[in-house]
Amino acid sequence: MQFGDYIDDVARAAGFLSRLPMPARHFTDHDGTLSRAAGMFPVAGLLVALGPGLFVWGLMALNANAAITALLTLMLLIGLTGALHEDGLADSADAFGARGGREHMLAIMKDSRIGAYGVLALMISFALRAVALTIITAAAGGLSGLLLLLAIAAVSRSAMVWHWSALPLARTDGVAAAVGAPDSATSKRAILIGGALFLLLASLATGPVVAAIALGVLAATAWQWTGAVRARLGGYTGDTIGATQQITETAGLATLALLL
Is residue 236 classed as helix, strand or coil in its secondary structure?
strand
Longest CA span, the chain: 53
| Alpha-carbon span 45 to 152, nearest angstrom | 9
Closest CA to 205 of 143, 128, 114, 129: 143
198-210 per-residue burial string, b: 16 or more CB within 10 A, e: under 16: bbbbbbebbeeeb
Structural domains counted in the chain: 1
Whether residue 31 is predicted with pLDDT greater than 80 in this model: the reply is no
pLDDT level of residue 181 (50, 70, 90 thresholds): confident
User: What is the tens place of the pLDDT at every residue in 63-117?
Assistant: 999 999 999 999 999 999 999 999 999 999 999 998 888 899 999 998 888 999 9
pTM reported for the whole predicted model:
0.94
Whether residue 184 is predicted with pLDDT greater than 80 in this model: the reply is yes
Containing structural domain, residue 71: 3-259
Q: What is the mean pLDDT of residues 147-155?
A: 98
| Alpha-carbon span 257 to 260, nearest angstrom | 5
| Alpha-carbon span 60 to 79, nearest angstrom | 21
H helix runs in 33-170, sequence order: 41-61, 66-81, 84-97, 102-110, 116-140, 142-166
For residue 182, the 8-state DSSP code is -
Percent share of the chain, pLDDT over 90: 81
pLDDT level of residue 179 (50, 70, 90 thresholds): confident
pLDDT at 1: 67
Mean pLDDT taken over the chain: 93
Q: What is the mean pLDDT of residues 208-235?
A: 97
Whether residue 180 is predicted with pLDDT greater than 90 in this model: the reply is no
φ, ψ for residue 207 (rounded to 5)? 100, 155
Q: What is the mean pLDDT of residues 225-248?
A: 96
